[in-house]
């Protein structure tokens, strides 16, 4: 079987993000896990990911648990470029997890969205807390 690259832009403090990594691994992949709070983002990297996912910077903006409100990013008139620049400066502003594979990219909320990016899915995955997916 050829290698199918899976990259998960991950925040280990997030249960959804941890579950997505576990779901990818349960499907038999060894994902590249990028802890973006440590690694940071580049503007071109985010533009590419968002374009592949079919979302705007505003749609990827994390509102809760981030400085989005204090930075004035929730106002309707704020441009996508201004949001993108803030995301580069404050990586926590990007919602997670974002997964990238040869099939595309997606903000995996809900976590089951990841299955559309994989060639195979796990048999009977059980997420944190013991609930079957």
Residue-wise pLDDT for 48-76, tens only, equals 999 999 999 999 999 999 999 999 999 99
Assess whether the previous peptide bond of 51 is cis (omega < 30° from 0): no
> What's the average model confidence in pLDDT over 90-97?
97
pTM, 2 dp: 0.89
Angstrom distance (rounded) from CA 44 to CA 62: 19
Over its C-alpha atoms, the chain yields an Rg (Å, rounded) of 15
Task: Evaluate if residue 2 carries a pLDDT over 60.
Answer: no
CA 130 vs. chain centroid, Å, equals: 23
| Confidence label for 121 from pLDDT (cuts 50, 70 and 90) | confident
Give pLDDT tens digits for 15-34. 999 999 999 999 999 999 99
For the annotated catalytic residues, the residue numbers are 14
């Amino acid at each position: 079987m050829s290698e199918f690259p899976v990259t998960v832009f991950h925040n280990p403090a997030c249960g959804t993000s941890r579950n997505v990594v576990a779901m990818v691994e349960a499907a038999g992949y060894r994902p590249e896990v990028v802890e973006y709070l440590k690694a940071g983002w580049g503007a071109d990297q985010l533009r590419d990911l968002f374009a592949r996912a079919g979302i705007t910077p505003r749609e990827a903006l994390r509102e809760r648990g981030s400085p989005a409100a204090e930075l004035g990013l929730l106002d309707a008139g704020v441009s996508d470029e201004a949001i993108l620049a803030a995301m580069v400066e404050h990586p926590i502003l990007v919602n997670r997890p974002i997964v990238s594979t040869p099939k595309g990219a997606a903000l995996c909320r809900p976590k089951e969205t990841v299955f559309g990016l994989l060639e195979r899915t796990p048999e009977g995955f059980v997420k944190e807390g013991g609930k079957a997916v």
